[in-house]
Amino acid sequence: MATDVKVPTLGESITEATIGQWLKKPGETVALDEPIASLETDKVSVEVPSPVAGTLAEQLFAEGDTVEVGAIIARVSEGGAASAAAEAPAAAEPATGEAQATVSGGAVNPAGAGENPALREGAAAADASLTLSPAVRRAVLEHHVDPSSIKGSGKDGRLTKDDVLAAARSKEASPAPAVTTAPVSQAAAPAPKAPAARADRTEERVKVTRLRQTIATRLKDAQNTAALLTTFNDVDMSAVIDARNRYKDLFERKHGIRLGFMSFFVKAAALAARDVPAVNARIEGDEIVYSNYLDVSVAVSAPKGLLVPVIRSADAMSFAEIEKTIAGFGKKAKEGTLSMEEMKGGTFTISNGGVFGSLLSTPIVNPPQSAVLGLHRIEERPVVRDGQIVAKPMMYLALTYDHRLVDGREAVTFLVRIKEAIEDPTRLLIDL
CA 245 – CA 216 distance, rounded (Å): 40
Mean pLDDT of the chain: 80
Same domain, 65 and 120: no
Same domain, 158 and 298: no
Same domain, 121 and 87: no
The string of pLDDT tens digits covering residues 337-372 is 888 888 888 999 999 999 889 999 999 998 899 999
Same domain, 266 and 396: yes
User: 189 in a domain, yes or no?
Assistant: no
The string of pLDDT tens digits covering residues 394-417 is 999 999 999 999 999 999 999 999
Same domain, 88 and 110: no
Same domain, 275 and 395: yes
Same domain, 300 and 412: yes
The string of pLDDT tens digits covering residues 109-162 is 444 444 444 444 444 433 434 566 666 777 777 777 777 778 777 766 777 777
The fraction of the chain above a pLDDT of 90, given in percent, is 38
Q: What is the pLDDT of residue 86?
A: 40
Query: Which residues does 42 contact at the CB level (< 8 Å), separation at least 6?
Result: 14, 210, 211, 213, 214
Q: Last residue of a domain, which of 92, 109, 127?
A: 92
The string of pLDDT tens digits covering residues 250-302 is 999 999 999 999 999 999 999 999 999 999 999 998 999 999 999 999 988 77
Instruction: Output the CA–CA distances (angstroms, integers) from residue 300 to 19, 94, 154, 264, 398, in the order listed.
Output: 23, 31, 21, 17, 17
Same domain, 314 and 257: yes
Give the catalytic positions in this structure: 403, 407
Of 272, 216, 226, 265, nearest to 369 by C-alpha is 226
Same domain, 304 and 383: yes
Structural domain boundaries, residue 17: 2-92
How many domains are contained in the chain?
3
Of 42-51, 325-334, 371-380, where does the model show the most confidence?
371-380
* pTM (predicted TM-score): 0.60
Query: Residue 370, exposed/middle/buried by CB under 10 A (0-12, 13-18, 19+)?
Result: buried
User: 198 in a domain, yes or no?
Assistant: no
Same domain, 68 and 107: no
Q: What is the pLDDT of residue 345?
A: 86
Same domain, 231 and 319: yes
Same domain, 168 and 275: no
Question: Each residue of 97-121: b (16+ CB within 10 Å) or e?
Answer: eeeebbbbbbbbbeeeeeeeeebee
Residue 389 is given by DSSP the state E
The string of pLDDT tens digits covering residues 183-228 is 545 555 566 777 776 777 888 888 777 777 777 888 888 888 889 9
- Neighbouring C-beta atoms of residue 173, cutoff 10 Å: 7
